[in-house]
Chains A and B, each alone.
Chain A
Amino acid sequence: MSLLQISEPGGGDPRRAVHRRAAGIDLGTTNSLIATAIKGEVRTLADADGAHLLPSAVQYGAGGLLAVGAAAKARSAADPGNVIVSAKRALGKSFAELRSGGGFRQYRFDAGKGDAAPAFVTAAGPRDPVEVSAAILRALARRCREETGEELAGAVITVPAYFNDAQRQQTRHAAKLAGIEVLRLLNEPTAAAVAYGLDRGGQGNIIVFDLGGGTFDVSLLSLRKGVFEVLATGGDTALGGDDFDQAVADWLIAQGGVEAVAAADWPALLQVANQARERLGDADQAEVVWRDWRGALDAAQFAEIAAPLVRRTILSCRRVMRDAGVDTGAIGNVLLVGGATRMPLIRQAVAKFFGREPLTDIDPDRVVAMGAGIQAEVLIGNRPTGDFLLLDVNPLSLGIETMGELVEKIIRRNTAIPVAKSQEFTTFKDGQTAMALHVVQGERELVGECRSLARFTLGGIPPMVAGAAKVKVTFQVDADGLLSVSAEEASTGGKAEVQVKPSFGLDSGQIEQMLRDSRDHARDDMLARALGEARLDATRLMDAISGAIKENGEILSAAEKSGIEQALAELRDAMAEHDSARIEELTQRLNHVSEAFAARRMNLTVGAALRGESIDTLSRETE
């Protein structure tokens, strides 16, 4: 069956004789697009009316699917519960999260398949976010087939850089449901950078500021000779144009122009808010009409309403720059992606922060799909590999719990992947034979405030004095972002291993909350860390001295013994307080009063060891 694979005389890749249809799909919160190569050039495809954007809206009726796209969106106000919009924001969310999320006031949810798989209640029955997404993907694939006359052989689908594993898995699942072969999930800002870099020959450091309908990503990339190196990435998967609309809608309610809004009226009110916001793009003032109420929103008022949202985007930008250690002066270009970046307010804030006007001649709606389309051409074999390479990073720090409920970060956020890092840990107590390892993810310094990923135990550590065993813990993250952890005891080679998916089950809201918390509580953390460390040092010393007194108390004079015991008691009291300086001070005092004892005991121990006697009695089985 190789009839089609006719090589040109003189060789060449026979694969080239067979062109396979590949496409890039931008599955957006508000709008979706598909891009494919037409006569060698990747471009987005339009529908019969010439519209490139397919509104991400799906309408269900008693008989099943009624409409997808503009037709569905147009009926959103009239049929609020059955027209599903912004389904992307529901991907990977639990039933509880959807019910409490303010963005979905017009829907009812069904937890028939469990808390982890909630569905929208529609006239056609429950439809989960994966099914809704699949309906959109199917409509795009149809558009591609009608335009090119070919079946889609494979697609690259874009996701926000900050999407977690559950959200990525569900995106893949939606494609499968739609009968689309996924060549790769590609991060949206990276896709935009590819389109910009390859088509414009862009070089140097670029910022991709991607504010879509429901998500926000900001990435700093270095573009050099076809290599797209992500230097740092940050964002907020619960921030987008939708939030600006909601803020305007809430403002309308606060103005008194809108009386108690029924859940069913919410889509209509959002549309009024959205229209007002979009009109402010060209005008200084927008008229707002809601039922029989008339009012106006001017640019200054809108700026005030939107200020907290704008601020969040700029905070993310600052963090990305700091993480990369790059100065805003070293940014060659700022690329705006996502329809919400059309807001003059955003453009001004971005221009002010980066000290340069962002590029505005690239269509912010289409660039992501085009970048995905280009990568799809490479992966399917229509375009030579080696054209470009993407080097990505992991978005959140990965670490391990240490004594005092502190986190030791092993792989920091924004580390290039794949990566393998090791660190040595030691035992805390004399004679400890097992070590419990707790793998966590997040930026905070306390375990309780990070996301728990996995727990496992390394046993078989030979009993030794505290601090003598050496356990090497290795974290590995592969190019797909999957984490595996292993631990090994140096003297015996005893091994324990575990594999975890870093962001599995971790919803994006939690990711941001953790990031925001770590920003807000950096000082609390420092204090807590200092306290934790002080307590740890104190515990260690107290344990050692108590143990030593039990073993060799006979070599102490009565005065020495009471001095040490008094210092011990004082320190024990101080441990209950939260004053790390006091604990440190008393620890030092205890250390001081027991110095002579420790020295004599050392001589004793060395003497015993030299005489060939067992020193096993010095260690205690504590674990």
Chain B
Amino acid sequence: MLAIADNYFAQFALPVDFEINSGRLGSRYRELQAEVHPDRFAASGEEQRLQAIKLSSYLNEAYETLKSPLRRAGYLLRLRGIDVEQVAQSDLAPELLFEQMELRESLAELSGGESAFDRLDELNRKAASRLAERQRQFVQALAGNRLDQARKLFHELQFLHKLQTEIDKKEESLESVADF
């Protein structure tokens, strides 16, 4: 049904690179799903249907890994043999921890009211610009084969991503009591 490639990038006929053609990723994903999706095998035998579920799940996982910049970065490190699950305390620079604490504190202090959304937007912009900056540095580190630095940057990206998730949550909780 589907030939499993060496890595997710190859599966979607994309170069192994952080910079990704997301339009191409999406269209390749849909083409492949059209071949393996279980709905295509509604009338087939048990074995074929099970195989379709497995392949379709695999494609979903591959697609979601490459679609998210953070997961893509982690996957690129994994391809270079680096276990990104293990965060060492030494990977996190004190300045980063301090900066994170500062951002989190301003998030925690936010309460309702008109201006809360503006401040949330501002925090979001801050996080996004730091994320973009570190992403650039990550790409450079990877290109220069400075893997230790790339791994540290990845952990910083993880932190910033988590912060963004918390900003989203905060926004949801503020929305539920706000008028608009």
Contact = CB atoms under 8 A, between A and B. Distances in A.
A520 B61 contact: no
Contacts of A322: 168, 171-172
Given A385-B40, A389-B37, A418 B169 contact: no
Given A319-B172, A418-B60, A523-B173, A479 B53 contact: yes
A522 B30 contact: no
Contacts of B135: none
Contacts of A70: none
A156 interface: no
B170 A227 contact: no
Contacts of B37: 389, 391, 479
B109 to A, nearest CB: 12
Contact of A419 (B33, B61, B173, B180): B61
Contacts of B145: none
Contact of A390 (B39, B175, B176): B39
Nearest to B34: A389
A224 B172 contact: no
A318 B173 contact: no
A415 B57 CA distance: 11
Contacts of A229: 30
Contacts of A342: none
Nearest to A417: B60
Interface residues of A, number: 35
Interface in A501-525: 516, 519-523
B126 to A, nearest CB: 18
B166 A526 contact: yes
B170 A224 contact: no
Contacts of B40: 385-386, 389
Interface string B69-94: 00000000000000000000000000
A315 interface: yes
A420 interface: yes
Contact of B26 (A224, A417, A520): A224
Nearest to B23: A224
B42 to A, nearest CB: 7
Contacts of B12: none
B23 to A, nearest CB: 10
B31 to A, nearest CB: 8
A469 to B, nearest CB: 16
Contacts of A415: 60, 64
Contacts of A419: 57, 60-61
A579 interface: no
A interface SS class: mixed
Contacts of A421: 61
Contacts of A479: 37-39, 53, 56
Contacts of A318: 175
Nearest to B59: A416
Contact of B53 (A390, A418, A526): A418
A227 B38 contact: no
B27 interface: yes
A391 B173 contact: no
Contacts of B173: 519-523
A225 B30 contact: yes
A311 B63 CA distance: 34
B176 A516 contact: yes
A476 interface: yes
B146 to A, nearest CB: 29
A516 B30 CA distance: 33
A437 interface: no
A225 B170 CA distance: 37
A315 B176 CA distance: 7
A389 B39 CA distance: 8
A199 interface: no
Interface string A317-346: 011001000000000000000000000000
Contacts of A224: 26-27, 30
Contacts of B27: 224-225
A522 B175 CA distance: 11
A519 to B, nearest CB: 5
Interface of A: 222, 224-227, 229, 311, 314-315, 318-319, 322, 379, 385-386, 389-391, 415-421, 476, 478-479, 516, 519-523, 526
Interface of B: 26-27, 30, 33-34, 37-40, 42, 53-54, 56-57, 60-61, 63-64, 166, 168-173, 175-177, 179-180
29 contacts: A226-B34, A227-B33, A227-B34, A311-B179, A318-B175, A322-B171, A379-B42, A389-B30, A389-B37, A391-B30, A416-B64, A418-B38, A418-B60, A419-B60, A419-B61, A420-B54, A420-B61, A421-B61, A478-B53, A479-B38, A516-B176, A519-B172, A519-B175, A519-B176, A520-B173, A520-B177, A521-B173, A522-B173, A526-B166
Q: Which 5 A-B pairs have the closest CB atoms?
A: A522-B173, A479-B38, A522-B169, A227-B30, A416-B60
